[in-house]
Amino acid sequence: MINLDTFLKISNLIICLNETLLDETINDHEVNITGYEILRKDRNRNGGGVAVYVRNTINYISRTELDTNDLEAITVEISKPRSKPFIVNCMYRPPNSTVELFSAYEKLIEKLDSENKEIILIGDFNCDWTGVKSGTMKPQTNKLHEITEAFQFEQMIEQPTRVTEHSETIIDLVFTNKPELVTNFGVIHIGISDHSLIFLQRKISVPRFEPKLINKRNFKHYNVDAFRSDLAVCLVNLTSTIQDPNDMWSEWKDRFLAVADMHAPHETKKVRSVNSP
C-alpha cells in the first residue's frame, strides 16, 4: 500500500478532484498548487464541479471540444517523450442523477474510443462497484458496467472508497482500456473526507527492446562480371589437382567463398527485435 507522502512525491502527477464547490467568484490563484496548472468545470458553491491539476512539466492538451453541458467532466490529452499520447477524463456523476445521464457519457467514450488511444476514466461515479462480481448491481451501476465492458475497459479499484458507520462502498472508480500499462493502483485513506483518495500509476514510456543483430552480405559494390571473372581464375586446375570428390567439393567451396567475400563482404546489422503490430 502506498502512503500519501509517497504519492505526493511522485514526479509526474495528474490530480483529479470532484465536488470542488467552486464558481466564478473563486480565481484560479486562490486554489493554486505550486508546480501545477489547473483546469476547471464549475457548477456552484452548493455542489458539484470538477478540476484537474496537471504538473507543469507535462505536455498536455485540454480537449474542450468534447465538453458538454450534460456532463461534469474534463478531458485532457497527455504527451510524454518516447510514448504515445493518452487521454484522461475526470468525471463527476451526482448521486441523484438518472440512468439517462450515461447516454451522454457513452457518446463521449465512443468519440474517445474512435481515436484509438489509451484512455483513463476516473472520478466519483456514485455507482457502487461492490456488487459487480455478485451481479447485484443497482440500475446506475449496471448501466455503467455495460458501457465500460462494451468498450473493453477494466475497472481497477477493489477496496471501499467511501466508508461510513453503516456502509462501505466502491463509488470512486478508475477505468482503463490498457491495463497492461498500469504498474500500481489502490486506495489511500486520508481522513479529511468521507471519500478516500484513489490512484493509478502507469508506465511513462513504451518499453524498449534490445535490437537483434543479423549477419548479411553487402552487395553495394558487387559487380557480377568481375565476380565471375575472379571466380573463373580461382577455380582453374581444381579438377586436375584433386581426385577425391569430397575433398574437391571442400576446396571448391573454400575458393568460392573467398571470392564472394571480396565482392560481397559480410556485415553485421541491427534490426527490430519485434515486429510492428
Q: What is the mean pLDDT of the chain?
A: 88
* Whether residues 25 and 146 fall in one domain: yes
Is 207 part of a structural domain of the chain? no
CA dihedral sign of residues 187, 188, 189, 192: negative
Is 277 part of a structural domain of the chain? no
Task: Say what the pTM is.
Answer: 0.70
* Whether residues 151 and 233 fall in one domain: no
- pLDDT tens digit at each of 277 positions of the chain: 555 555 555 546 899 999 999 999 999 999 998 889 999 999 998 889 999 999 998 999 999 999 999 999 999 999 987 778 999 999 999 999 999 999 999 999 999 999 999 999 999 999 999 989 888 899 999 999 999 999 999 999 999 999 888 889 999 999 999 999 999 999 988 777 788 999 999 887 655 566 778 888 888 889 999 999 998 888 887 777 788 888 888 888 999 999 999 999 988 887 765 555 5
* Whether residues 46 and 69 fall in one domain: yes
The C-alpha atoms of residue 194 and residue 161 are separated, in whole angstroms, by: 8
Residue 162 CB neighbour total at 10 angstroms: 17
Strand partners for 79: 59
* Whether residues 196 and 216 fall in one domain: no
CATH number of the domain that 35 lies in? Answer: 3.60.10.10
The C-alpha atoms of residue 262 and residue 211 are separated, in whole angstroms, by: 28
pLDDT in tens, 231-265: 888 888 777 778 888 888 888 899 999 999 999 99
Residue after which a domain boundary falls, among 202, 227, 261: 202
Amino acid at 10: I
The C-alpha atoms of residue 227 and residue 190 are separated, in whole angstroms, by: 78
| pLDDT number for residue 187 | 92
Is 122 part of a structural domain of the chain? yes
| pLDDT number for residue 192 | 72
Q: pLDDT over 70 for what percent of the chain?
A: 91
Residue after which a domain boundary falls, among 202, 226, 256: 202
| pLDDT number for residue 73 | 97
* Whether residues 48 and 150 fall in one domain: yes
* Whether residues 222 and 186 fall in one domain: no
* Whether residues 186 and 86 fall in one domain: yes
Residue after which a domain boundary falls, among 202, 221, 249: 202
Residue-range definition of the domain harbouring residue 259: 212-271
Grid cell, residue 45, equals: 458553491
Is 146 part of a structural domain of the chain? yes
| pLDDT number for residue 76 | 97
Is 251 part of a structural domain of the chain? yes
* Whether residues 39 and 115 fall in one domain: yes
The three-state (H, E, C) secondary structure of 100-169, written as one string? CHHHHHHHHHHHHHCCCCEEEEEEECCCCHHHCCCCCCCHHHHHHHHHHHHCCCEECCCCCCEECCCCEE
* Whether residues 192 and 218 fall in one domain: no
The C-alpha atoms of residue 106 and residue 99 are separated, in whole angstroms, by: 11
CA dihedral sign of residues 194, 153, 47, 73: positive
* Whether residues 96 and 192 fall in one domain: yes
| pLDDT number for residue 270 | 79
Count H helices and E strands in the chain, helices first. Answer: 6, 15
* Whether residues 171 and 267 fall in one domain: no
Is 276 part of a structural domain of the chain? no
Q: Domain tally for the chain?
A: 2
* Whether residues 137 and 229 fall in one domain: no
List strand residue ranges (DSSP E) for the chain, in order.
Answer: 14-18, 36-41, 50-55, 59-62, 72-79, 86-92, 118-124, 154-155, 162-163, 168-169, 172-176, 182-188, 197-202, 212-217, 266-271
Is 8 part of a structural domain of the chain? yes
Is 233 part of a structural domain of the chain? yes
| pLDDT number for residue 107 | 96
Residue 112: which region, alpha, beta or left (left: phi > 0; alpha: psi -120 to 50)? alpha
The C-alpha atoms of residue 63 and residue 79 are separated, in whole angstroms, by: 13
